[in-house]
């Protein structure tokens, strides 16, 4: 397998960025009901728990995919 090209490296960086961003959004949505001071905001964010879990799982999937690609690149780079 050839070495990663700058385009491939950029795509991997974007995947990591998307994963971290999605995971953070999911965490914010899931933690918001516990932090919010207003009852209406607490209720609204409590109803968005499914969206928060989806964003968190999607973000973690992106990060895992990035890690697998990175490990595969390192393994292939070590071969003669």
Q: Hey, which bits of the chain come out as E strands?
A: none
Can you give the residue ranges of every domain in the chain? 16-74
Please check whether residue 15 is in contact with residue 45, taking contact to mean a CB–CB distance below 8 angstroms: no
pLDDT per residue over 44-75, tens digit each?
A: 888 999 999 999 999 999 999 999 999 988 88
* DSSP three-state, residue 55: helix
Integer-rounded Cα Rg, in Å, for the chain is 18
Residue at token pair 């964003």: 55
pLDDT per residue over 1-46, tens digit each?
A: 555 677 888 888 999 999 999 999 999 999 998 988 888 888 888 8
Phi and psi at 4, nearest 5°, equal -65, 135
Q: Looking only at Cα atoms, what is the longest distance across the chain?
A: 62
């Amino acid at each position: 397998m050839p070495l990663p090209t700058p385009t491939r490296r950029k795509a991997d960086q974007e995947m990591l960025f998307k994963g971290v961003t999605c995971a953070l959004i999911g965490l914010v949505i899931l933690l918001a009901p516990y932090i919010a001071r207003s009852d209406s905001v607490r209720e609204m964010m409590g109803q968005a728990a499914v969206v928060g879990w989806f964003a968190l799982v999607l973000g973690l999937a992106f990060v895992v995919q990035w890690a697998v690609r990175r490990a595969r690149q390192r393994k292939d780079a070590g071969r003669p």
